[in-house]
Structure 1
């Protein structure tokens, strides 16, 4: 029934095509926003430049608070800010009738979760060395090491599920909720829901960015943990 609301079906009717179409559309939107924001840089920002600069400053401030270092915050800013853009626009595009959120597909959310998972482990090993990094998986006591190590491994693997399924489940639910509202009362009932769904799009992007920062902080700052 939802296919009735998808413009992508006018090109080709396929679930895989719908996902790829909307993911590429979101990617183009992100590139366009980034390019247009820096196209005519001004000393006193206005318009889109002002919005993007406020966003970058907010992400940088959040990163400094989480990582405890401006150097690390600036180092991971491109990753975290890009993830925020992709997740937000991926969430928000589904609010527009005729489009579907690519983040309502496990293909994208799982891919993002795996990128974060492998990247923070890579950074942790790079910053601390292989032995020291995996040594902290064993806990503070040698006696508890045989028990703590498998628990830590399971804990880290569960982060993939947590990151991917949280985003996927929330956005899929939002899309279905909007579909029901559009079906029952296409002109009046969805209007209050748009504000709520926009808020959810922002919130889910914030949560994904914050968890990414928390995982990075735990990987590169072992001595403090």
Structure 2
């Protein structure tokens, strides 16, 4: 957002520089949390290890009903990594002087493309090219010429849905906070910070659950056909 103060913007006014530095900052924080959690592993977790284990268990529980416990654990590294990175990126924008990298379409589009390529790759790997793409034609053969292009468009639209949902909500939150801080003193809009923190968590959850949903649709073709 032009005209909004950021610490990195004081170093270089280029928006590309500000965006990239906030992306790198989010990645560094995520790596630091992972390092802290695994630095001294204990049978009875404490501190950061306890928080991270609860986070991972929560993701598995979330994916269990969508894709089954085995697959939820198999794809845990992808979903957990995306989740923690998106969450940190969302929360950064709530802190005055920083900007949400997830409020930039370049970031959210990249994440959406990663999910899109990965779930299609997994669908092809598990079911084979012919079986996977044959599923796009639907169960009724004479409707295949109609269903196949509809399915292709539907899958491509997932990229737009994932990227623009996250981008639009976080960008809107950033603009809301910007306007609020211009109109009110720093300590007056504290309830708004709570609301924005809840929104950051919600958007992270939505991105993760949709990743599981798309993976389930790609790898569980046999269960879906029954």
For the superposition of Structure 1 and Structure 2, which TM-score range results when normalised by the shorter chain? over 0.9
Aligned residues: 224
Gaps of 5+ in 1: none
Superposition CA RMSD, Å: 1.1
State TM-score, norm by structure 2: 0.96
The alpha carbon displacement at 1:93 in A equals 0.6
Could you list the per-position Cα deviations for residues 62-114 of structure 1 after superposition, in whole angstroms to 9, with x for gaps in the alignment?
Answer: 1222112x321221000000000011000001000000000000010000000
Within 5 A, what are the aligned runs for 1:7-22?
7-22=7-22
- The answer to whether the aligner puts 1:196 opposite 2:215 as a matched pair is no
Alpha-carbon distance in structure 2 between the residues aligned to 1:184 and 1:57: 41
Distance 1:189 1:148 in 2: 54
In structure 1, distance between residues paired with 2:185 and 2:15 = 24
Q: Do structure 1's residue 30 and structure 2's residue 26 form an aligned pair?
A: no
Corresponding position of 2:217: 218
Q: Does 1:43 align with 2:40?
A: no
Shift of 1:2: 5.2
Asked if residue 64 in structure 1 is aligned to residue 64 in structure 2, the reply is yes
Q: Distance in 2 between matches of 1:74 and 1:188?
A: 42
* Aligned equivalent of 1:162: 161
Please name the residue that 2:184 is paired with: 185
Give the conservation status (yes or no) of the 8 Å contact 1:92–1:198: yes
Deviation at 1:46? 1.6
TM-score (norm 1): 0.97
Q: Which runs of 5+ in 2 are unaligned?
A: none
CA distance in 1, matches of 2:127, 2:97: 48
Deviation at residue 130 of structure 1 after TM alignment: 0.4
What per-residue deviation string (whole Å, max 9, x for no partner) do you get for residues 143-176 of structure 1? 1101000100000000000000000000000000
Counterparts of residues 87-166 of structure 1 (less than 5 Å): 87-166=86-165
Of 70-79 and 156-165, deviating more is 70-79
The CA distance in 1 between the partners of 2:185 and 2:103, in whole Å, is 22
